[in-house]
Amino acid sequence: MSRTIKLFKPYDVLCQFTDPEGRPTLADFVPIPGVYAAGRLDRDSEGLLLLTDDGPLAHRLTDPRFDHPKIYLVQVERVPTEDALDALRRGVTLGDGPTKPAGAELLAEPPDLPERPVPIRFRKNVPTAWIRLTIREGRNRQVRRMTAAVGHPTLRLVRWAVADVALDGLAPGAWADLSDGEAAALRRLAVAAPAKKRRGDRGRASPRR
């Protein structure tokens, strides 16, 4: 029987199991043999990472044709205007082409997240804000590039959910087996047909954020 778990990947941890330089890796937190990350998060990003020994499921989770949503909680410099949020919703043009339309919501209050071990940079005269960003593709450092494109550099990036699987109370470095509902949602994803390709879309790898 295959096994899939969810991990709250901490800040400053590499999304791999070995590192010749001795930096923190997934092996420091996940003692389960045979599971591998389905998707990636940058070393300086935090949050939900799915790990599985199910190859076809891992492919579905990382193949952009399947169009499943990924939700990020993003702390940015300054408070975005509605125009900036609308630009994210419509899609912004990056160096590797336009992004698909996204969900973008300004949060009235900071989300209830654990403190990061390395504090974000603080500038006395520059306020910060949190947005909830939902995307359905994955390019290299896409979320950071999207917020920068509308004038709001990312300070902290936490992936909250992938499809119907969310962090839901996990502490940084903690992992858990999926609930029955989460496992069922991923099984549905594993048999779903790819989303129809929209005109102008290009195939993308699903690397890091």
Q: What is the CATH number of the domain that holds 93?
A: 3.30.2350.10
Which is nearest to 173 in space by CA: 77, 73, 30?
30
Q: Say what the pLDDT of residue 193 is.
A: 60
Relative to beta strand 46-52, strand 154-162 is: parallel
Task: Judge whether 209 lies within some domain.
Answer: no
Task: Judge whether 28 lies within some domain.
Answer: yes
Q: Say what the pLDDT of residue 95 is.
A: 93
157 burial (CB, 10 Å; 0-12 / 13-18 / 19+) is buried
Task: Judge whether 93 lies within some domain.
Answer: yes
Predicted confidence (pLDDT) at residue 197 exceeds the cutoff of 80 = no
Q: Could you tell me the pLDDT band of residue 4, with boundaries at 50, 70 and 90?
A: very high
Task: Judge whether 208 lies within some domain.
Answer: no
Q: Say what the pLDDT of residue 65 is.
A: 78
How is residue 62 written in tokens?
């990382």
Which is nearest to 162 in space by CA: 3, 8, 1?
8
Q: Is 42 a catalytic residue?
A: yes
Task: Judge whether 30 lies within some domain.
Answer: yes
Task: Judge whether 56 lies within some domain.
Answer: yes
Which is nearest to 68 in space by CA: 167, 158, 136, 166?
136
Given the residues 42, 44, 83, 96, the one annotated as active site = 42
Q: Could you tell me the pLDDT band of residue 202, with boundaries at 50, 70 and 90?
A: very low
- Among 2-6, 22-26, 128-132, name the one with the lowest average pLDDT: 2-6
Task: Judge whether 121 lies within some domain.
Answer: yes
pLDDT in tens, 84-134: 999 999 999 999 999 999 999 999 999 999 999 888 887 888 899 999 999
Q: Say what the pLDDT of residue 18 is.
A: 96
Residues 17/49, Cβ–Cβ less than 8 Å? no
Domain of residue 36 covers: 4-191
Q: Where are the beta strands (DSSP E) in 20-65?
A: 36-37, 46-52
Task: Judge whether 199 lies within some domain.
Answer: no
Q: Could you tell me the pLDDT band of residue 208, with boundaries at 50, 70 and 90?
A: low
Q: Say what the pLDDT of residue 63 is.
A: 82
As for how many domains the chain has, the answer is 1
Q: What is the dihedral of CA 24, 17, 185, 137, to 10 degrees?
A: 80
Mean pLDDT of 139-143: 92
pLDDT in tens, 36-82: 999 889 999 999 999 999 888 888 888 877 778 999 999 999 999 99
Residues 128/76, Cβ–Cβ less than 8 Å? yes
Residues 59/206, Cβ–Cβ less than 8 Å? no
Q: Could you tell me the pLDDT band of residue 203, with boundaries at 50, 70 and 90?
A: very low
**Alpha-carbon span 136 to 102, nearest angstrom:** 7
